[in-house]
Structure 1
């Protein structure tokens, strides 16, 4: 039996491929790409616009982040800097600094004394007293913020949000001390004044009271000003001017009236008299004038008397006249002849009073008013007579000129039982007899005489010490040159 078969379509006659599971479904894939193809230009334009927007937004945010204000929570010198630009903060910081540096201080005395009243007549700014204010770390942070990029500001902002910087202070102490000393001078640096004793007579004294001095205590003033500024930081609205006590250190006088009273003389320690040589009016005037200059001179314990000072006083107050002097081994006229008689008399009185001999020189020729070895010459710029007070009391010199006699006395505090003698020993012979007339050919058989002198200290008449005094050498030949002009 023949079966009837329908004719097959050609495609239906082809064998079917198995379905590929990885291939997208032809439905949406085809539709998407079918839609893209006719809209390619529009899509490209859209992407371009989006890119422009993104770039613009990026530029906008970059520009504004570069000018971003400081983070909230950041404080500098009491200023809330959050939300401000660095330049604004710097302006406020400088205003704060100017306010602090311009604050004024007035000093007040630390004691009651009218001489310290000038302290209150002037004020000083803290800047004038050497104070400077600021905060270098804050300045660096503000500069970094202003110059930093976005990434740097992002990182720095987190750090500054928790930062609080106080105002810092520098103090230049040398500037402070220079300022107050320049303004007040001796008001704050005053030297003490010692008590004075005016001897009307060796036993009658008028005293002038001592006055203590003072000087600036720099360390205490420095501490006071630093404490003041420290308090000022927490209370900047204090009343102006602020007051500070000027600390002074008292400097007591070295010599008080009480001390002087313990040094008052109680006895005549030694005296010596010489006969004034008859060598004319000038010689007599010079002896009297130098004696007046010596009268009343007081030598304190451990101090010296220099005859050169007596001569200077004589010239200034009384003047000197022309009289015989020794020059080049000869007697010639010169200014001041005769003052060596006063120095010689003074020397001998000082020896008997127990004064120390610092410097003494003999004349080049013998003199007629004392034994050999007992004279003391003086020459301007040359030999001098210097004696020292080695006692615990004042030494008071007095002089008297009566007729042709000059007496020098030394008053001081007597040591019980102590007396002094002076002896001389001449090495050459014969012993010369000295007169008021010295000729060119005195002792022609000798060229010089050497004399050793000693001071003998006795206690209740018993010798306890023998002191060698400066040696004396007398040149007797006129050809021997003597460079100094001795006043004779």
Structure 2
């Protein structure tokens, strides 16, 4: 009986112990959960431990606190920074505030504040008690447009075309103006250098030397000063010309006067003289059209091209394009003429010398003159031109009977012209001594057959 009572008593005691242990367990768990919960809640509106932004620890900082710290250290400081550019003797600068430069402070703080907040409570607790270092970096942005405008402004100030030296002749001596070097900003290179230098580092200003090219003039004063001697000249008379033809000769000659050819450069009569129009001062005068003398704008300028051509021959200047007339001209010998026609026939030559060539052209007392000047070294050689007419072709005359004209009366419809074959030579002398003779051209003037009407009408 007593044994049964003891067993019941033991069971009751054991149950009490278990209940006590369970209660203690529940209390411990409750305390632990509460601790975890309240610990996590403490960081609900602040940044977790060991979370850094740009190397600065923001553990436990609120959003407002973090934003203020970052603005103090980055936001305001970056606006004081400048980009300084030196271009030749000028200085240019632009501040980061003008570029609307800024850091993603608010966005980055939001990221740091949200870090770990979407995890479960245990994960959050672990991040608080055993944190893994986490770092965020600010994003830096700016507006490129003000920089592009600055580069354009620098370009406008710096870009200068080089100025060629010029030469003029007063009739007694040459006057040479100085050449001036130009400059050109390498805009693309400058832009790349600026953009590669701009960053979010809070440091000293950015200093850049603008890349600038020096532009050399095509014609220098030193080269033009080599022109000191007349090497050739030629003139032809146009005293029998009409006023219109004389005007055309004067206008064309004036457009050539003062032309300079540097070594290697070529000359085109048509390009230099230009189209023969009324607006440019040309008048109607006699020209050769379809083997006949007719009237047209610019009539007479073939005398200008022929006069210039003979000066070229006397100066040993290389002619690259030249065509003679249909029949011989009255103002120069056979084989010595050079016809021109806008858009069709040209007179061209090239400066093959090591020195510049200066062309002087003018008219006086109805004579057209061309003088060619260059360096005195070229004057050591002189040249004379000779011609050889080695064939003469007589034209035929075709007669057409005209019953409307009185018998014995004639009328020339087409004037005949004798044909010739002629060779032109250049005789070369050095210091007055004959050296050699060279063939320049072999021209053929085609004979022009004539046509004459004769009357056959009998008198009543």
TM, length-normalised to structure 1? 0.67
The yes-or-no answer on 1:189 pairing with 2:156 is no
Map 1:30-41; keep pairs closer than 5 Å.
30-31=8-9, 33-34=11-12
The yes-or-no answer on 1:417 pairing with 2:380 is yes
What RMSD, in angstroms, separates the aligned Cα atoms of the two structures?
A: 5.0
Describe the shift of the 1:258–1:441 C-alpha distance in structure 2 as closer, same or farther (beyond 3 A): closer
| Equivalent residue, structure 1, for 2:61 | 84
Map 1:299-318; keep pairs closer than 5 Å.
299-312=261-274
| Equivalent residue, structure 1, for 2:222 | 259
| Equivalent residue, structure 1, for 2:457 | none
Deviation of residue 269 (structure 1)? 0.9
The yes-or-no answer on 1:128 pairing with 2:90 is no
**C-alpha separation between the residues in 2 aligned to 1:395 and 1:60?**
99
| Equivalent residue, structure 2, for 1:466 | 438
Deviation of residue 390 (structure 1)? 2.1
What secondary structure does 2:274 align onto?
A: helix
| Equivalent residue, structure 2, for 1:180 | 150
**C-alpha separation between the residues in 1 aligned to 2:383 and 2:218?**
30
**C-alpha separation between the residues in 2 aligned to 1:49 and 1:275?**
133
Describe the shift of the 1:374–1:32 C-alpha distance in structure 2 as closer, same or farther (beyond 3 A): farther
**C-alpha separation between the residues in 1 aligned to 2:190 and 2:372?**
50
Describe the shift of the 1:225–1:244 C-alpha distance in structure 2 as closer, same or farther (beyond 3 A): farther
Stretch moving more, 416-425 or 183-192: 416-425
Deviation of residue 338 (structure 1)? 0.7
Describe the shift of the 1:358–1:246 C-alpha distance in structure 2 as closer, same or farther (beyond 3 A): same
The yes-or-no answer on 1:233 pairing with 2:201 is yes
What secondary structure does 1:377 align onto?
A: coil
**C-alpha separation between the residues in 1 aligned to 2:186 and 2:275?**
38
Which residue of 52, 58, 82 corresponds with 1:105? Answer: 82
**C-alpha separation between the residues in 2 aligned to 1:215 and 1:478?**
69
Please tell me whether the aligned partners of residues 283 and 338 of structure 1 are also in contact (alpha carbons under 8 angstroms): yes
1:246-303, CA deviations, whole angstroms, 9 ceiling, x for partnerless residues?
53536153368651454222x2211112232734221111112222222232223322
Unmatched segments (≥5 aa) in structure 2: 396-411, 452-460
Describe the shift of the 1:74–1:279 C-alpha distance in structure 2 as closer, same or farther (beyond 3 A): same
Describe the shift of the 1:222–1:97 C-alpha distance in structure 2 as closer, same or farther (beyond 3 A): farther
Describe the shift of the 1:194–1:286 C-alpha distance in structure 2 as closer, same or farther (beyond 3 A): closer
Please tell me whether the aligned partners of residues 79 and 92 of structure 1 are also in contact (alpha carbons under 8 angstroms): no
Deviation of residue 162 (structure 1)? 4.2
**C-alpha separation between the residues in 2 aligned to 1:170 and 1:473?**
81
Deviation of residue 306 (structure 1)? 2.3
**C-alpha separation between the residues in 2 aligned to 1:409 and 1:439?**
41
What secondary structure does 2:414 align onto?
A: coil
**C-alpha separation between the residues in 2 aligned to 1:153 and 1:186?**
61
TM, length-normalised to structure 2? 0.71
Please tell me whether the aligned partners of residues 276 and 298 of structure 2 are also in contact (alpha carbons under 8 angstroms): no
**C-alpha separation between the residues in 2 aligned to 1:35 and 1:181?**
94
Unmatched segments (≥5 aa) in structure 1: 1-10, 12-24, 433-437, 480-488
Please tell me whether the aligned partners of residues 161 and 215 of structure 2 are also in contact (alpha carbons under 8 angstroms): no
**C-alpha separation between the residues in 1 aligned to 2:120 and 2:322?**
92
Which residue of 280, 293, 305 corresponds with 1:331? Answer: 293
Q: Which protein has the bigger strand share?
A: 2
Which residue of 244, 248, 257 corresponds with 1:286? Answer: 248
| Structure number with bigger Rg | 1
Deviation of residue 192 (structure 1)? 3.0
| Equivalent residue, structure 1, for 2:314 | 352
Please tell me whether the aligned partners of residues 277 and 298 of structure 2 are also in contact (alpha carbons under 8 angstroms): no
Please tell me whether the aligned partners of residues 303 and 388 of structure 1 are also in contact (alpha carbons under 8 angstroms): yes
Describe the shift of the 1:89–1:331 C-alpha distance in structure 2 as closer, same or farther (beyond 3 A): farther
What secondary structure does 2:155 align onto?
A: helix
**C-alpha separation between the residues in 2 aligned to 1:323 and 1:146?**
100
Aligned length: 428
| Equivalent residue, structure 2, for 1:15 | none
**C-alpha separation between the residues in 2 aligned to 1:307 and 1:52?**
110
Deviation of residue 349 (structure 1)? 0.4
Deviation of residue 355 (structure 1)? 1.8
Please tell me whether the aligned partners of residues 292 and 399 of structure 1 are also in contact (alpha carbons under 8 angstroms): yes
The yes-or-no answer on 1:199 pairing with 2:177 is no
What secondary structure does 2:169 align onto?
A: strand
| Equivalent residue, structure 2, for 1:441 | 415
Deviation of residue 442 (structure 1)? 2.1
| Equivalent residue, structure 2, for 1:19 | none
What secondary structure does 1:319 align onto?
A: coil
Describe the shift of the 1:400–1:73 C-alpha distance in structure 2 as closer, same or farther (beyond 3 A): same
